[in-house]
Amino acid sequence: MTKPALDLVIAALETIREKSDRAPRASKAALARLQTVDSVAVSLPAAPEASEAGLKTSAPPNRLRSATAPQAERRLQPPSDKADLLERIRERVRACTKCAHFACSRTQTVFGVGNPDADLMFIGEAPGVDEDQQGEPFVGRAGQLLTRILKAMNFAREDVYIANILKCRPDTPPGSFGNRPPTSTEMQTCRPYLVEQIEIIQPSVLVALGAVAVEGLLGVPGTMRELRGRWHTYNGISLMITYHPAYLLRNQAPSEKRKVWEDMLQVLERLERPITERQRNYFL
């Protein structure tokens, strides 16, 4: 018989809790995704035996994997459902007043933009003045450069998902110009929204743009010299760290531009996208 996916998971978690010293955990976003699935065609005994290592059941192994594997869950969840879940978070962000100084100074929040079912997701640090006015991330000069990078990768902005650590532009003292980087406290306050976005989108590859984005995402500071150009992992997702486009606007050295492009070639390879000879020899 079929059993609602949410009930199946809850029953398994309750069994784990009874038999283990450590309580199991499930994110709100994961539970919300399960609620969008009416049922999963997997038969299990009425009182399944479970352990922290996995579910023990008499059901055929291949059928069990089809219900629990992350990729299977992704197939069961249509993009429209992801869009609905993201919209709920967007509404919470729009009304957020956790940082009172941002709530008073912002023009509007800047949530994220792109394909909810994207395989590739870019993460920046915080909205700037252009983003604050338009309500969309990466629309200023740095955003225009990011769009050119995407085009060279044979992506449109609509193919990927773009978001920031912060959903509000950091306030600046009266009379000052430009943008300021967010503080560690501000990033940690806003970070849960980004975590939920990533859990819903489930990209195959994340790209963190700049050291500030890395600190906001991973919670630890680091230098780009140490971090960029090699693969890292965030919650099981491949993570590439590279320079922020704004850095390339300040530093026009061909060697720095080439570093970013080499990082993007690695991203294309990880996504198993075809790479032409022209792309391999390309400079930003």
- Kindly report, residue by residue over 163-220, the tens digit of the pLDDT: 999 999 999 877 777 789 999 999 999 999 999 999 999 999 999 999 999 999 998 8
What's residue 41's pLDDT? 36
What's residue 221's pLDDT? 87
What's residue 177's pLDDT? 75
HSE, side-chain direction, 13 A CA sphere, residue 231: 13
What's the rounded Cα separation, in Å, for the pair 106 and 194?
19
- Model confidence band, residue 111 (pLDDT cutoffs 50, 70, 90): very high
What's the rounded Cα separation, in Å, for the pair 211 and 242?
8
Q: Specify the higher pLDDT residue, 185 or 75.
A: 185
Q: Which of 56-70, 155-169, 170-184 has the highest mean pLDDT?
A: 155-169
Q: What is the DSSP string of 112-135?
A: EEE-TT-SEEEEES---HHHHHHT
Provide, rounded to the nearest whole percent, the portion of the chain with pLDDT above 90.
Answer: 64
Residue range 78-110, pLDDT digits in tens? 556 999 999 999 999 999 999 999 999 999 999
What's residue 282's pLDDT? 86
pLDDT at 66 over 90: no
pLDDT at 135 over 50: yes
Angle in degrees, CA 131, 33, 267, rounded to 5: 55
Mean pLDDT calculated for residue range 265-280 = 96
Q: 3-class SS at 105?
A: helix
What's residue 110's pLDDT? 98
Q: CB of 137 within 8 A of CB of 164?
A: yes
Strand partners, 231: 240
Expressed in angstroms, the distance from the first to the final Cα of the chain is 56
What's residue 53's pLDDT? 34
Q: CB of 194 within 8 A of CB of 123?
A: yes
Identify the weakest region by mean pLDDT among 51-55, 203-207, 236-240: 51-55
Q: CB of 16 within 8 A of CB of 55?
A: no
Mean pLDDT calculated for residue range 7-14 = 58
Mean pLDDT computed over every residue of the chain: 81
Mean pLDDT calculated for residue range 239-263 = 95
- Model confidence band, residue 222 (pLDDT cutoffs 50, 70, 90): confident
Q: CB of 93 within 8 A of CB of 163?
A: no
